[in-house]
Structure formats: structure tokens, C-alpha cells
Structure 1
């Protein structure tokens, strides 16, 4: 019989997606696919589908505190991630709890805008992410618009991407992954800068589809799961890229707008 809490456990700290394609829903699906047990701290609840975000409400701080305490009292979280955090107050609440509890490596996905264009992070919270969350981050995974907001830089070239990653590392994030999905290129190229100073690019063919809802959540969740299982940061990033590429390529027809990924696609590519 295995020891209590011997199974790899992960935690997502984010907002819900009633449409099932992004947020905590995508996180849990991905973490499950990567053979970890997923728990959740709900920071916000959204009314959302593939067409957009119709409404959302952030939860009271005391309830977020209680969720953290409940998870810490019973589970052994080996890696965690953040997603939608709503506003500066909630960023600070989450950061305070992450300092209080040891939940292993922290992956920060600085979610700012939904696929449909709705703002998921208040403008005044950007500074809180930089001041309170990035210094705690084992890895930060911004897309290009998010990286530009966090750094104040224009990022259009490989050299600018690498410079932005260095800046984010200087803000406190140990490792940085800048995602290139918003660039206008035939391949989607992401740049990784590791704590060791080593760096590399990972790429995948761009797929002509609008079914990419939850891509960032899925990538960061996959990386979190791999870290929880003891994989190195580089191995986790490379696996995450493959997982997302498969989930986009083998798409599913769900919803009328920016549809979700096929979260079980990657298992068909490996004996898992």
C-alpha cells in the first residue's frame, strides 16, 4: 500500500470557466491527463463560453484564505499554478497565502485578457503581479501581449523576446517562458530562459483554427503537473509544448466561437 499523499498532487489557483474550456476547468483536465491529482482554489467565478466572458465575480478574500487552509491541512501539493486573479487585492491575497504554505514550485500564468477580448485582470493589478507574485514564481508564462504589459517593452523580434525574458527574470521569476502564439509566423515559437542562464526556443507548426480557447491555461497546467512529478524545468516545458500542440492539432468541435482544446489528444501519442 502506498503512503498517504504519496501520489503527485497539483493545485490550480484561478477562475472558473462555465464553458469548460479554460481556467480551472482546463487546468484540472490537463493535470488529470498528466496523471496528477488536481485540487483548486477558486479566486473568481465567470459566466463564460466560447463566445466570450459575459460576467464574473471575484470571491471574498476570507473564502480564498479558507480554501488555501483546507488544501494545506489535508493534501500534499507538489506544484501549483496561478491563472485569473481578477484585481490587485486578490493578487495580494494569493501571494500572501503562497508565502504561508509550501505548495512546491509555482507557475505563474499572468492571465490578463480572455480569447474573446474580455479583461480578466484589472489594469491596476499589473504592478501587484510584478511586485507580489513574480518574486515567488518558479516559472512565469506570459504570451506576447502579457509580456509587453509586464515589461513595458515592444516585443516583435527574437532579440526583443530574449531581452524581455531577462527583464522578467530580474523582477524575480526564476524561469521565464514567453509564448509566441500572437506572433504572425508559420511556426509558434516560445522562448525559455532558465534559472541557470541557459535558454532555448521550442516551436510547433501553427494550426489554422480558432479552437484555441484555454491554450495558456493548458500549457501552464501541463508544466505544473510535470514539475509535481519531479521533471526538470526544461523537460516540463518541452513536454508542455508537445501536449498543447497535440491538443490543438487534434481539435474537437465544441461551441460556436473560440472553441476548446482536445485535452486527451496527447495520450494517443505516447504509451501512458
Structure 2
């Protein structure tokens, strides 16, 4: 695979000929792009899938890696357009198919919007809708760069207490939403895996709006780990209690 394959996939007229599946490493790009698609499409049942990169690593590569192969000596506007797109979206290509076992979860976009941290919203809400978002996702000419800049500015204008809340409880809430129902199921089967996966995603969410600010806040990372672990323990206990009740009910039926 090389630049030619990237160009074929990213060009609308030739995309159907591409053997590649596009994904990305950026939760924020996924939300921003999905909302643009939500506005432009007649279908509103758009979902965002979260994939275990380890399971597809052997047949995946970043778009930037591929663009370095057989790139034209004289780089035209198309090349630089695709490069900028690949950089912004942290674009990754998977060859062929993605096995079902590699998909942690596929979550409806609106369920994710409901749980976005407050800096994404016009006002603080427990449950949000697209109408509550702080940027105009319907504007065709809006750029991802402008979106990132606006969200960062909004985050940095928050009070210190609100920043900590959005990067701890807010980040954990969004991360667990992305991973449902996988997180709820795996927490009873492989507790360490559930905790580490949710924590890793929550770290990415927390780090995104203000990297320089979050980098020096050790308490943020400690709180994220503690919150994920506490939630996982509560879910595991609830699961065990439910199983116990079902067993007791079955035993009563048998007797």
C-alpha cells in the first residue's frame, strides 16, 4: 500500500474500488466528523465504533506512513490536501476487514453527545443534544482546526474546579459511554482489562482540550484511575449480585 491507495480511497469517485477501511486515533475528530455527517445525511442513526488497534495492527498503517511510499516527486494540491486531512484526523487504514472481535463497541452518536464534557456545550447540562453544542456543526465551511481552537479556548476559560471536573469525572463518563456495553460485560470477566482500557481512553479525553494544563496535573491522572476503578467495582458487584439472585431463583424453581 502507498500514496496511490490513499488517494484512491479519499477520492469520492474511486472510493468504492478501495480495499481499505478508514479509522482514526482521535475521539474529537470522530465526534466532529460524525456530527457533520449527521447534519448532511437523511439517516440519523450514525454510530461511532471503538476498535482494539492491537487486533488489526498487522494489517493497518497510518495514512502518513502510506503517503510516504510512492509519493509523487512534485507534490500537487491534492497531495497537500490529503496530508493535512491525514494529520488532523490521525487517519489510519485497515486492509480488508475488521473482525467483530476487534470492535469494543459501536455507540449511537446521540448517546455520545449526551455525555460530552461541559466545554463542548453552550451551557452546563446533565444530558445534552446537538442543539446544545457550542459550535455550529451545520456550517459546511467550518474546519476541524477551528473546532479544536474553540474547544481549547472554552476549556481554558473554565474555573480551575470546572477544568478538574471535566478532565476527571467528565472524561471518565465519556470514555465509559464510548465503551458500553463492552465495559459492563468485561468488568466481570477481566477486571484489570476493563479498568486499563477505560482509563487509557479517559486519559486521551482528559488530555485533549488543554495539553499543557493537564500535563502538570498529576492529581487528574490519579483521580481518573480511582474513578474508573470505583465504577468498575460497583458494576462488578452489581453483576455478581444479579448472578447470585438468578442462581437462587433457579434453585428455588428446581426444588
TM range (shorter): under 0.3
**Larger-gyration structure (1/2):** 2
- The structure whose residues are more often strand, as a share, is 1
TM-score by length of 1: 0.26
- The structure whose residues are more often helix, as a share, is 2
What TM-score does the superposition give when structure 2 sets the normalisation length?
0.27
